[in-house]
């Protein structure tokens, strides 16, 4: 792991620490944590280079069907940075290594995607160590609460991507 990746992971851990369930609280049944960045160079299906400066996330699903967590996303398109802070409302783990996270946007600097909009993505944990393939992520999708819930509850793979990322993704279930 590079120094930059290690620092990203440390920052995510510190910024998004969520209290672990106590003996009196519900048990954690799934979790997804990570920090990643990537660039989708031209040519691509979007017609512009898409740079992701930060995708940092920390989420837990509990035995009582509640969830807790956050994700922060910053995307750069044609030199303009768009930033989103999202409170997680759904987390599902599929195939033991692929997490779907979604939630409500609380902060946004994009006037076309204001707070109250929902956002979601998939993260793929491809293992650890020098010989493990790169972890992966989809881009962020945006829409309604119903679309967010449908996304999380569907085992489908992303329509676009996923792309290899620099950073580290951890997905756990059970």
Dihedral of CA atoms 140, 146, 150, 152 in degrees, nearest 10, equals 50
Query: What pLDDT score was predicted for residue 77?
Result: 87
Q: Is 147 a residue whose pLDDT tops 70?
A: yes
Burial category of 21 from C-beta neighbours within 10 Å (exposed 0-12, middle 13-18, buried 19 and up): middle
- pLDDT confidence of residue 66: 97
Whose tokens are 């922060």? That residue is 72
What distance in Å separates the CA atoms of residue 168 and residue 33, rounded to the nearest whole number? 8
C-alpha 146/C-alpha 143 separation (Å) is: 8
What is the band of 3 on the pLDDT scale with cuts at 50, 70, 90? very low
**Residue 85, pLDDT above cutoff 50:** yes
The residue that leads in pLDDT, 86 or 5, is: 86
Structure tokens at 85: 């802070």
What CA–CA distance (Å, rounded) separates 57 from 12?
7
Residues 73-82 have a mean pLDDT of 91
Name the pairing type of β-strands 136-137 and 141-143: unpaired
């Amino acid at each position: 792991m590079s120094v930059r990746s290690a620092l990203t992971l440390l920052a995510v851990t510190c910024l998004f620490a969520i209290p672990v369930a106590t003996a009196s609280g519900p048990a954690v049944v799934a979790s997804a944590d990570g920090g990643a960045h990537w660039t989708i160079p031209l040519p691509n299906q979007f017609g512009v280079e898409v740079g992701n400066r930060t995708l940092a996330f920390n989420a837990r699903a509990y035995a009582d069907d509640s969830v807790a967590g956050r994700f922060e996303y910053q995307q750069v398109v044609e030199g303009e940075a768009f930033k989103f802070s999202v409170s997680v409302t759904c987390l599902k783990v599929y195939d033991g290594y692929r997490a779907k996270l979604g939630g409500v946007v609380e902060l946004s600097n994009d006037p076309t995607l204001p707070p109250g909009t929902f956002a979601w993505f998939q993260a793929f944990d491809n293992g650890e160590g020098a010989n493990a393939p790169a972890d992966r992520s989809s881009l962020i999708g945006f829409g309604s609460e119903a679309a967010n819930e449908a996304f999380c509850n569907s085992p489908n793979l992303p329509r676009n991507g996923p792309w290899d990322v620099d950073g580290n993704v951890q997905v756990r279930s059970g």
